Amino acid sequence: MSDNGNGNSGLLQLSAKDFKSDQEVRWCPGCGDYAILAAVQGFMPELGIPRENIVFVSGIGCSSRFPYYMQTYGMHSIHGRAPAIASGLSTSRPDLSVWVVTGDGDAMSIGGNHLIHALRRNVNLKILLFNNEIYGLTKGQYSPTSPVGKVAKSTPMGSIDRPFYPLSLALGAEATFVARSIDTDRKHLTEVLRQAAAHKGTALVEIYQNCNIYNDGAFDVIRDNKGRRLYLEHGKPAVFGENGEKGIVFTDEGAAKIVDINEVGLDGVYVHDAHADEVFHAFALSRITQASHGVTPIGVLRDVDRPVYDEQMAGQLEAAVAKRGAGDLDALLSATDTWEL
């Protein structure tokens, strides 16, 4: 138990161990979720927030067991609804740090509506979307992020559904913070979590997570080969490759294009601006995939300041009291035509 309950981080000395609950972790051996759990538990002390002021809310799916393993407050809810439940919690308790853990099916299929509306409202939530491109808990059906042609238990002849690009979806839903990381890259994941936590409003972090049972190796190219990752950092040129020999430029049509640094020079490459007001570059970056460009952007695509829903709601309450005085029930009941008998 923390002896500092007032949220002042100065005296708060917690370690990763303090965020481990007494529950046995029940994911399959070798699951990417373990690495993400370790990274989150390792990062939490940095927040400087007492454990009692942190809440993890999840839906249903393998990833959604996450709250049980965190020594914070937590709710394992129902399929797809975590962003809605967390929105009610966060708006009524702006003093809390509220995290949502979800998966590709949970967030983008059954809970798609809640995800996009949480994003557009900019509720103060940190949403960690574990994307393994498969339904794991129900044992191997294709998901809304599975590629076309995916042969899974419910698609013996291959999936004919076009998948979502999760980050494009989020940007289209007016998200103010959009990022991606990889389960095995703890350093990078921790840095993304750091920026997400610092963001005011909704932060969506897509985390590529390997399901070693039903979709093993889906991200091997990116996990194994750093040259196939485009590390996006604000204010730095968007370059990648074994020796940083390739870069990103944008065509007049608004698409991202790969160029050789040798040909265009470092000055000719797009310098990443995560804080840009316009969403054009972030959106074009969100369309880059291994299939289309042979590289995957990771890092923070977009991080902009917008009014935060929770604060605005609290502000309206304060303004109402300032204007009308604190509510008086007896006055309310008589605030219309009355008569005496």
Return the structure tokens found at 64: 């959604």
Distance CA 95, CA 308 (A): 13
341 lies in the site for other proteins, by CB under 8 A: yes
Provide, rounded to whole angstroms, the least separation between the CB of residue 48 and other proteins.
15
Cα–Cα distances in angstroms (integers) from residue 152 to residues 30, 108, 142, 155, in the given order: 20, 18, 6, 5
The half-sphere exposure of 4 on its side-chain side, counting CA atoms within 13 A, is 11
222 lies in the site for other proteins, by CB under 8 A: no
**Binding residues for other proteins restricted to 295-314, rule: CB under 8 A:** 313
202 lies in the site for other proteins, by CB under 8 A: no
Pick one of 252, 263, 277, 323: the residue that binds other proteins (CB under 8 A): 323
Residues 6+ apart with CB under 8 A from 42: 16, 186, 190
17 lies in the site for other proteins, by CB under 8 A: no
Distance CA 163, CA 144 (A): 5
Judged by CB under 8 A, the stretch of 35-43, 226-234, 280-288, 332-340 that binds other proteins is 332-340
11 lies in the site for other proteins, by CB under 8 A: no
**Binding residues for other proteins restricted to 76-105, rule: CB under 8 A:** 76-78, 81, 84-93, 95-96
Structure-token match 């981080």, residue found: 9
Cα–Cα distances in angstroms (integers) from residue 18 to residues 34, 45, 52, 201, 287, in the given order: 17, 8, 12, 26, 39
Residue number with CB closer to other proteins (50 or 299): 50
119 lies in the site for other proteins, by CB under 8 A: no
Return the structure tokens found at 230: 């485009």
124 lies in the site for other proteins, by CB under 8 A: no
Q: Which residues of 181-205 are buried (b: 16+ CB within 10 A; e: fewer)?
A: bbbbbbebbebbbebbbebebbbbb
**Binding residues for other proteins restricted to 41-70, rule: CB under 8 A:** 50-55, 57, 60, 67-68, 70
- Residues of this chain that interact with other proteins (CB under 8 A) are 1-2, 5, 21, 23, 50-55, 57, 60, 67-68, 70-78, 81, 84-93, 95-96, 113-114, 116-117, 313, 316-317, 319-321, 323-327, 329-330, 332-334, 336-341
